[in-house]
Amino acid sequence: MPTKDEHFGNGLGLYGKDDYEGALVELGKAVALDPKFADAHLAMGHSLHKLKRLPEAVDAIKKAIAVNPQEPLYHTSLSTVFRDMGMIPEAEEEMAVSFQLQRGY
């Protein structure tokens, strides 16, 4: 039985081949094994973003942030999805959070 890390690796491999649906399946298996696997939630968000399933991408990235709110990349990713949804104030707010975390305050 594959581990969460193996599913994660498989998901990233499929993402790299532009198989975003396949990536979601593998990443979903990783999250099922460890619901607090923040990087897998983030990768799911990126896959959903590529599929233009933007509200679902927001939800996935917010799950990553809930696990690790101090990771700047998660906030940058959420900002990008918000931007693509036309939610500019929300995008700017998340980017500001990312910058603050990068600067350490």
Q: In the structure, what pLDDT confidence band is assigned to residue 105 with cuts at 50, 70 and 90? A: low
Q: Does domain 4-103 have CATH number 1.25.40.10?
A: yes
Place of tokens 């599913």: 7
* 23, two tokens: 């990536």
Helix extents (H) in 34-71: 38-50, 54-67
* 49, two tokens: 């973003």
Q: Could you tell me the pTM of the whole model?
A: 0.95
What SS3 state is found at 71? coil
Per-residue pLDDT of 19-77, as tens digits, reads 999 999 999 999 999 999 999 999 999 999 999 999 999 999 999 999 999 999 999 99
Q: Give the mean model confidence (pLDDT) for residues 9-18.
A: 98
Per-residue pLDDT of 77-91, as tens digits, reads 999 999 999 999 999
